[in-house]
């Protein structure tokens, strides 16, 4: 498994590269009134309307300087995840993935695993568990209304 790594608040996170569609530089986001709590707005990416998810706010790191947006596919929906900066792509051979300690991992968590790579710990983000099914339905509605 290859991992795309990125930073939020000096913490290194990773997403399986299989979930990543593209990496974009900071983009201009069109705000949607009365949108979901962590949806910052939408962008037009090569003709597709893509909701932008405020990942720093979701994890309690509001106010960070955003340099990149990682486009991922969540349940058939393209979502842009705001991150401070994308770091690198790591090969699975370089990393040992282990389950997150039970005390740190509530059932609803999107952090199920941690990777140890080159003497460094990387928190793995499961994008499929980032949003509830209801949030995914609401995002589909936002995309349909703005297409």
For residue range 42-81, list pLDDT tens digits in order: 999 998 889 999 999 989 998 899 999 999 988 788 999 9
pLDDT (0 to 100) of residue 107 = 55
Q: How confident is residue 112, by pLDDT bands cut at 50, 70 and 90?
A: confident
Burial 69-103 (b: 16+ CB within 10 A, else e): bbbbebeebbbbbbbbebbeebeeeebebeeeeee
Contact 49, 146 (CB under 8 A): yes
The model's pLDDT over 75-109, given as tens digits with 9 standing for 90+, comes to: 788 999 999 999 999 987 778 888 887 776 655 57
Q: What is the mean pLDDT of residues 110-127?
A: 88
pLDDT (0 to 100) of residue 108 = 56
- Pair type for strands 77-83 and 68-74: antiparallel
């Amino acid at each position: 498994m290859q991992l795309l790594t990125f930073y939020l608040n000096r913490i290194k996170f990773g997403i399986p590269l299989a979930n990543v569609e593209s990496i974009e530089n900071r983009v201009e986001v069109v705000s949607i009134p009365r949108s979901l709590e962590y949806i910052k707005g939408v962008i037009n990416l090569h003709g597709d309307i893509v909701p932008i998810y405020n990942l720093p706010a979701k994890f309690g790191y509001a106010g960070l300087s955003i340099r990149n947006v990682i486009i991922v596919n969540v349940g058939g929906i393209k979502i842009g995840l705001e991150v401070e900066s994308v770091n690198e792509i790591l090969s699975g051979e370089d990393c040992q993935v282990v389950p997150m300690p039970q005390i740190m991992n509530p059932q609803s968590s999107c952090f199920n695993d941690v990777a140890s790579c080159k003497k460094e710990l990387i928190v793995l983000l499961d994008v499929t568990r980032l949003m509830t099914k209801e949030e995914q339905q609401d995002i589909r509605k936002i995309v349909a209304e703005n297409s």
